[in-house]
Every structure is written in C-alpha cells, then in structure tokens.
Amino acid sequence: DTGVSQDPRHKITKRGQNVTFRCDPISEHNRLYWYRQTLGQGPEFLTYFQNEAQLEKSRLLSDRFSAERPKGSFSTLEIQRTEQGDSAMYLCASSLDPSGETQYFGPGTRLLVL
Amino acid sequence: QQQVKQSPQSLIVQKGGIPIINCAYENTAFDYFPWYQQFPGKGPALLIAIRPDVSEKKEGRFTISFNKSAKQFSLHIMDSQPGDSATYFCAASRGSGANNLFFGTGTRLTVIP
C-alpha cells in the first residue's frame, strides 16, 4: 500500500453539473477526512468519518455537498449543482491512530468549475 | 477567523541557510502541532510534529521549537537545500472529537543554489 489515493486528479466541469470524487485511504486506517484547499491557503476541514460513520461536518459543507463511506473503506465526496466558488483542491486524509491526529494526505483532486 | 497564524508568507534563502517559519495560536485546547510540506500539485506531507509538553523536537534537518506560554511554535530547517523549496504549513489539533487539523496559511520557501 503506497498511501492515500484519490481519483480523479483533475476535474473540469460546467457550473450546475454534479461531480463525484473518490478517496481510497491507507489500508486499515479507520479515520478518513476531507479537506478543501483554495489557492494560497491552507487546507480547511470539511468532514470526517470513523469507519463508516460520518461523525462531524464543517459549516463549510453546504447542503450541496454529500460524503459517504459505505463500507468503512473508500469514501466519495459529491458536489451537486457546482458553482464557480467550488473550484479548489479537494484533499482526503486518513489516520490509524485512535486520536486521528497523525493524518496522511492524498494527492488531491483539483476541481475547476467554469 | 484564522485559528493558526503563520508568517512569513514567503521566504528566500541561500543553500545552507536556516529558514525559520513562525506560527501562533490562541486556542489553549490545541495539544498537537504538526508541520506539513507541500509541493505544487501534491498533497501535504507530514514532516514533524510536537506536543506542548516539550520545548523542542528535532528530526533530521528539521527542528520545531515550542513556546507554550507565548502560544507560538516555529520550524527551523538546517542546512537548507534547493530540494526543500516548497510550501510549508503549520497546523494544530485539539486532541478530541474529530481532531481535524487547523492549518496556517502557508509559507512558500525558495532555496537558491
């Protein structure tokens, strides 16, 4: 296992379309996080899963965003009715330790909404 | 509200120099402070981390200094190399609940050969 993987790496879409991103965490990592990073800024927390349960969501996660982790392994992040302001890098991280503090990030999915 | 404030925004040093990046926080509930390195088009990679019960931690050429009373911490890169040119982020987490990371705004480091 070489680390957290994300797919696709790049996505260009038109405003109003739906997009879905996938994250495969490091094997056996039970915690999975989604962050969003805009240009020139640090990543900002969106949501977190402990196994298959989504336990916390940031206020940044509007109702157009939904995330799932159906079997406690991979996760998907869907954005409905995309807006230009959704353009960002979407990062996934996973953690094995019980506290979740040591997080390993994937390469991210860069989204551009035209 | 930025929970972790980072400076400088950018930094240029000569090869062999010792760049220093500073971060400050207000939330005393933070108890874990990692530093991440990010290259263009890549995700952040964990470099080194510290807890408030120690004042300094060293791993290879990277050293974190921590001042609990001032609520500040900094990253020093010894004998910097051109390959260290990247964006560095400090972060903090609370040790409870989601334990999500709060990141600084990043410092773009350029090491000139």
pLDDT of residue A32 exceeding 90: yes
Q: How confident is the model at residue A1 (pLDDT cuts 50, 70, 90)?
A: low
**A12 or B96, which is more confident:** A12
CA dihedral B86, A114, A16, A83 (to 10 degrees): 50
* B43-82 pLDDT tens trace: 999 999 999 999 999 999 999 999 999 999 999 999 999 9
Q: Which of A34, A46, A103 to mutate to test the interface with B (most CBs of B within 10 A)?
A: A103
CB contact under 8 A, A55 and B44: no
CB contact under 8 A, A40 and B49: no
CB contact under 8 A, A107 and B43: yes
* CB atoms near residue B94 (< 10 Å): 19
Tell me the nearest-neighbour CA distance from B105 into chain A, angstroms: 5
β strands within B26-61, DSSP E: 33-38, 45-50, 56-59
**Using CB atoms, which residue from A40, A103, A107 is nearest to B42?**
A107
Residue pointed to by tokens 């402070």 = B33
**A99 or B105, which is more confident:** B105
Q: How far apart are CA B71 and CA B22, in angstroms?
A: 11
Q: How far apart are CA A1 and CA B12, in angstroms?
A: 36
**Using CB atoms, which residue from A45, A55, A56 is nearest to B101?**
A45
* A44-87 pLDDT tens trace: 999 999 999 999 899 888 899 999 999 889 999 999 999 999 99
